[in-house]
């Protein structure tokens, strides 16, 4: 499945949106396994780093959780849906960031997240090249 090319959103957000929709609609139930980054990579024809960014975004939103060695699963219970951006004041009466500020911070966070993902990928490839402990050669 190819992602739309005319959307202005980054690919990892489009994939996260698709999974989020599946979770919110009940197509993926609480406790059910979410496709792995490799499965998302194949299904959406994206880089593995992009797929991992999608899953990280959903984890950050509390929609999924990870179990090392087993995969990602839909959270139980699901968090409530987030209010619209720039929705005024929160329950304590404190002002929220304006839409422009929120968008700038979100864009910066996305950029930093992609850099971290890239650095992790480089680090993983370097560690694969290192020789094993003495005596295993």
In a domain, 45, yes or no: yes
**What pLDDT is stored for residue 95 in this prediction?**
46
Residues 101 and 40 in one domain: no
Residues 13 and 53 in one domain: yes
Q: How confident is the model at residue 92 (pLDDT cuts 50, 70, 90)?
A: very low
In a domain, 87, yes or no: no
Q: How confident is the model at residue 135 (pLDDT cuts 50, 70, 90)?
A: low
Containing structural domain, residue 113: 96-130
Residues 79-100 have a mean pLDDT of 53
Contact present, 85 and 74 (Cβ < 8 Å):
no
Contact present, 73 and 31 (Cβ < 8 Å):
yes
């Amino acid at each position: 499945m190819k992602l739309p090319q005319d959307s202005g959103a980054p690919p990892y957000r489009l994939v996260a949106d698709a999974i989020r929709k599946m979770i919110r609609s009940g197509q993926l139930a609480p406790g059910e396994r979410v496709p792995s980054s490799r499965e998302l990579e194949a299904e959406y024809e994206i880089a593995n780093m992009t797929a991992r960014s999608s899953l990280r975004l959903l984890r950050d939103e509390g929609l999924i959780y990870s179990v090392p060695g087993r995969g990602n699963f839909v959270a139980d219970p699901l968090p409530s849906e987030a209010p619209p951006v720039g929705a005024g004041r929160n329950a304590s009466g404190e002002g929220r960031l304006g839409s422009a500020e929120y968008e700038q911070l979100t864009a910066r966070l996305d950029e930093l997240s992609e850099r971290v993902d890239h650095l992790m990928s480089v680090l993983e490839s370097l560690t694969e090249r290192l020789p094993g402990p003495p005596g295993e050669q």
